[in-house]
Amino acid sequence: MGLKGKYTAQIAVVASAVALSLAAWGAAALTDTEATAQAGDGGKGRTPASQGTAPAQVPPVKMPESIAHAAEAGGSAVNITIDDGPDPRWTPKMLDILKENDVKAVFCMVGPRAQEYPALVKRVVAEGHRLCDHTVTHDTTMDKKSVAYQKQQILEAKKMIEDAAGGAKVEYYRAPGGAFTPDSRRIAAMSGMRPLGWNVDTKDFERPGTAAIVHTVKSELSNGPTILFHDGGGDRAQSVAALEQVLPWLKEQGHGFSFPVRSTP
């Protein structure tokens, strides 16, 4: 091969190498472009490693420590609150009645019950109701126990309920039997839950009869807007029947329905 032929061959080799390098660079650039496009397309495609970092946890907004009774909507609005569930027999019946009357309620749940029946918790959330922490063991003597015990009862139940709900937030805390303490209210408020009381105790957990439960609501509603029912802790047939009568009566009397306040009015 002559000198000219050697130069020609060398030029060809260099040209080939350059072509291969350009091809490799182009493929890499395309991959980066695709990754960027996929990341910007709602995460439908592959996410770049730099975007895989979990977002920082946002601390809950501290609520007022005072016990809430008022209705968010104000005026003549009332709040329906339902305690001690969820229960596979009674909670669905109450949910059906609330849905028929287009009424939203607060469900104050016992942690292990929520953990046992997550589908019911999810239904409560899906139908527009709010969640309330009613502790782990429903200990009505919590106000006589240590701060560490109160904290465990409140925060463990909150986690159980939120896990069962698929991440929906627990917005209130109600002490069993109203056994609030300054510490329990502070613990709840720091965790984003407003302490929640009641104005009308229907005493439905004592099963006094449907007529007696309805009468209590009618006679004690002047005490304030927050009404207490139960869907757990025993046979709640009377509670269900009373709720079915009370909701239409409240509407006939010109009452709307609301949720209890969370922030200070």
Q: Is 138 a catalytic residue?
A: no
One-letter amino acid for residue 39 of the chain: A
| Residue from 32, 83, 138, 163 carrying the catalytic annotation | 83
Please identify which of the residues 143, 230, 231, 255 carries the catalytic annotation. Answer: 230
Distance CA 69, CA 265 (A): 11
d(CA 214, CA 202): 8
Distance between CA atoms of residues 73 and 108, nearest Å? 20
**Alpha-carbon distance 43 to 23, whole Å?**
28
For this structure, is 83 an active site residue?
yes
Which residues carry out catalysis? 83, 230
